[in-house]
Amino acid sequence: MVSAGQRPLAMDNVTHTLIGALLGETAARIAPPAATDRQARVRRTLFLSVTIVGSNLPDSDLLYALGSTGKLAYLLEHRGHTHTVLGALLASAAMLVACALWQRRLRVALPPRDRAWLVGLALLAPLLHIAMDAFNSYGVHPWWPLDNRWFYGDSVFIVEPLFWAAAAPLVFLLRGYVARGLVVLVLLGGLYLAFVTGMVTRGSIAFYCVLAVAMLLIGRFSPPKLALAAAIGAWLVTTLTFALAGRQVAAGVDAYAVMHTPEWKTVDHVLTPLPMNALCWDVILIQAQADRYALRRGIATIAPGTRCPAGSDRPITAPLQRVALPDTPFVHWHGQIVASRERLRVLAAASCEVAAFLRFARAPWLGERGAERVIGDLRYDGEPELGFAEIDLTRSSGCPAYVPPWIPPRSDLLQR
């Protein structure tokens, strides 16, 4: 689990790995019987390899993003070209070439039927990574170079341990003891993080434990194919539950805005559920009125009376002011920023750093901290210090050597 201020790795790679393992193990068990035991072993290894590696390959952009100088390069390069359909297809092709070379080295050729399975899995895994990343508030732009807009699912927290619990049958289905042990460590790690982060309610922790134990029992006592189907079903049901809850929260935020801020135009709302919790959501309501725009941050619940963790109610870098709007059983406001759209336009025109930053920032804010002049993205402001999505403009590191063509999420605020 990560706080809002840490560098998010999109949907976490633990989840991508576990889902890839579920798909690879399922394919190996439901594919028609192989001609020989050796061929079956090679096929299973290839299926698991392409689903696990392919489920992580889009995050290979981290290799150059983390090696880049400055925060801005990271923000622009992560979720970059490898997180596009074109990039995913190239990754699939590279994996299939590697599989062909490996088969040649082993002198084991899969029959056409198994090669078709392998091709399908190699195509599916990187695309599934992008689809899963699309469910959180970080966003993806999958249709580059045809469409450079960001798309946001606003449905799933960046690190969601419920997905780990869903994959618990792998403890009994994977063949290697090391792999099984790693899954056990992941399950225990989800419980540890839930306690130490302070972001998870006791009820959510209890539900995680019940789900994990139930899936372990299914993995131990059910036929493998049934256990795998249950694991994939739990993953899909969890995703659907958060997606439906997110739509309900979005409708509630829109209704609140119409009732309490009729003079403001809502241009966006950023929604992020708390971990293991489809009832409590961090909310950033983005509105515009003439030259002004407002970022209003709070926490919403679709179950009035639910006690939500503090979430976004903590000291941060952004200069939040009191929200002069009523709290309701649905939403509690923590603070807001009201700023000038014209100032944002002027800075974007005068500073290549600001212009580049706005190709990423969905909730941009400007402020001063002593001698520092800071631009940040309120989505990932989770501590008083400058986080990964906040840049001190008085200490310019220069413009990035390459600025991707992503369309600024807040083009609606930059337009006159």
DSSP labels, 275-295: TTEEEEEEEEEEEEETTEEEE
Each residue's pLDDT tens digit, 19-43: 999 999 999 999 998 878 899 999 9
Query: What does the alpha-carbon distance between residue 51 and residue 338 come to, in Å, rounded to a whole number?
Result: 46
Q: According to the model, what pLDDT value does residue 369 have?
A: 79
Residue in 143, 124, 122 with CA at minimum distance from that of residue 132: 124
Question: How many Cβ atoms are within 10 Å of 258's Cβ, its own excluded?
Answer: 11
Phi, psi at residue 387, to the nearest 5°?
A: -95, -170
pLDDT of residue 69: 62
41, exposed or middle or buried, with CB in 10 Å at 0-12, 13-18, 19+? middle
The predicted structure's pLDDT at residue 243: 97
**Angstrom distance (rounded) from CA 47 to CA 23:** 9
pLDDT of 224-246, one tens digit each? 999 999 999 999 999 999 999 99
pLDDT under 70: residue ranges of the chain: 1-11, 64-69, 310-313, 397
pLDDT tens digit string along 191-210?
999 998 888 999 999 999 99
Q: What is the pLDDT of residue 4?
A: 44
pLDDT digits (tens, 9 = 90+) for 324-338: 999 999 999 999 999
Q: What is the mean pLDDT of the chain?
A: 91
Name the 3-class secondary structure at 404: coil
Return the pLDDT at 2. Answer: 47
What strand order describes the sheet that includes 364-369? 364-369, 372-377, 390-392
* Model pLDDT, residue 80: 87
Q: How do the domains of the chain map onto residue ranges? A: 13-244
The model scores a pTM over 0.75: yes
Nearest-Å Rg of the Cα atoms of the chain is: 23
- H or E element that contains 339: strand 331-340
* % of the chain at pLDDT higher than 90: 76
